[in-house]
Structures are given as C-alpha cells and as structure tokens.
Amino acid sequence: MPIKSLYMDKSGMPYVVRSAYPDDADDIVSLIRTVGREEVYIANEEDYYSAEQQRRILTQLNDSVQLVLVAESQGQVFGTLEAVRGTFRKNRHVVTFGMALSEAFRGQGRGAGLIATMEEWAARGAVQKIALSVFESNERAIRFYEHHGYHKEAARPGQFVIQGRMVAEVFMAKYL
C-alpha cells in the first residue's frame, strides 16, 4: 500500500514523505553516493547499488517486510530511509533501518517525517522494536534519535575508522 504524508519542517516549510517508486532509483542512488562520499555519516563510501539494481529492488519490494521511503520538497528528493523487518519467527518483531539526508536539508527537522512514517508502518505490522546503528562520532544523529525516543543499547568499540580515528558503532533502539 503506497504511503504519502505531508510534514512541516522547523521553519514551517512543507515536505512530503512517500513510498519510493522505481522511478526514484536514480535519486536514491545519487543521494546515498553523495552522503557516502562525505565519509562521516554512513558506512557506504561510494559503492552502492546501480540505479538498475535499485529499480529492481523497488519493483520487487515486499512491503510487509521492507520499506523504502523518500522525502522530497518541490519535487527534489533530499532524503531516504530503508527499513527491513526480521524474516524469521524469532525476529519478526524487530525492524532495522538506516536513513540519509542531503547536507542542505539537515538540521531542519526533515528527518522527523521519515522516522514518523517508518514508525507508523512498523506499528501497523505489529513490530515491537525498531533498531539502528550510528557512528559514535555522529553526535548530532545520536541526539536526533534520542529526541525521537531511541536509546543506546550497546556499542562495538573501534568498529569503523572515521577521518583517521577509530570509532564505535552505537546500537540504538525504540520499543513500540
């Protein structure tokens, strides 16, 4: 079932969060590669699916276990979120997600719409826990997630090297 929700950022500017469609593949791949090249927010460093691979994923999406959203303003995709539900009986109650926002759109409250839309999807599917991981050096993201009810569960010290420094991968979660 396609999702489409209207949100307002901190300054009152509207933006839309909606289900990603195969036609969004180029925008998603470009966004992930751009954020990856920044080398401080996501593990991806530039290698990512090709637009054709992303298009195939979006075409074959099983929306009961996987969600791909885009956030857009004035027709420009500036954010994406992918959530995947556990596929075994033992972990079907858990959704794990990751998201990325274009640099020009960070700090404006626009990630909140992606999170809210994903949480609504998860709740409809009887999910009990939503999980993510973030670099410990990304303090802004950690504060953002904490503001939205996520808490730190664990960390793997030295799991990544960011700008020449070993940093922990921090695991965070929210129970619904």
Q: Is residue 158 part of a domain?
A: no
Counting other chains too, the contacts that 166-172 makes at CB distance below 8 Å and 24 or more residues apart are 167/135, 167/136, 167/137, 168/135, 168/136, 169/133, 169/134, 169/135, 169/136, 170/133, 170/134, 170/135, 170/136, 170/142, 171/131, 171/132, 171/133, 172/131, 172/132, 172/133, 172/134, 172/142, 172/145, 172/146
Q: Is residue 97 part of a domain?
A: yes
Q: How confident is the model at residue 62 (pLDDT cuts 50, 70, 90)?
A: very high
Q: Is residue 19 part of a domain?
A: yes
When pLDDT is averaged across residues 25-51 and rounded to a whole number, the result is: 89
Q: Kindly report the pTM of this predicted structure.
A: 0.94
Q: How confident is the model at residue 128 (pLDDT cuts 50, 70, 90)?
A: very high
When comparing pLDDT for 6 and 48, which is higher? 6
Q: At residue 129, does pLDDT exceed 90?
A: yes
Counted domains in the chain: 1
Which residue range forms the structural domain that includes residue 108? 4-129
Q: At residue 35, does pLDDT exceed 70?
A: yes
Q: At residue 1, does pLDDT exceed 80?
A: no
Q: Is residue 102 part of a domain?
A: yes
pLDDT at 112: 97
Q: Is residue 170 part of a domain?
A: no
Q: How confident is the model at residue 46 (pLDDT cuts 50, 70, 90)?
A: low
Domain CATH for 101: 3.40.630.30
Averaged pLDDT of the chain: 95
Q: How confident is the model at residue 48 (pLDDT cuts 50, 70, 90)?
A: confident
When pLDDT is averaged across residues 136-142 and rounded to a whole number, the result is: 96
Q: Is residue 134 part of a domain?
A: no
Q: Is residue 110 part of a domain?
A: yes
Q: Is residue 165 part of a domain?
A: no
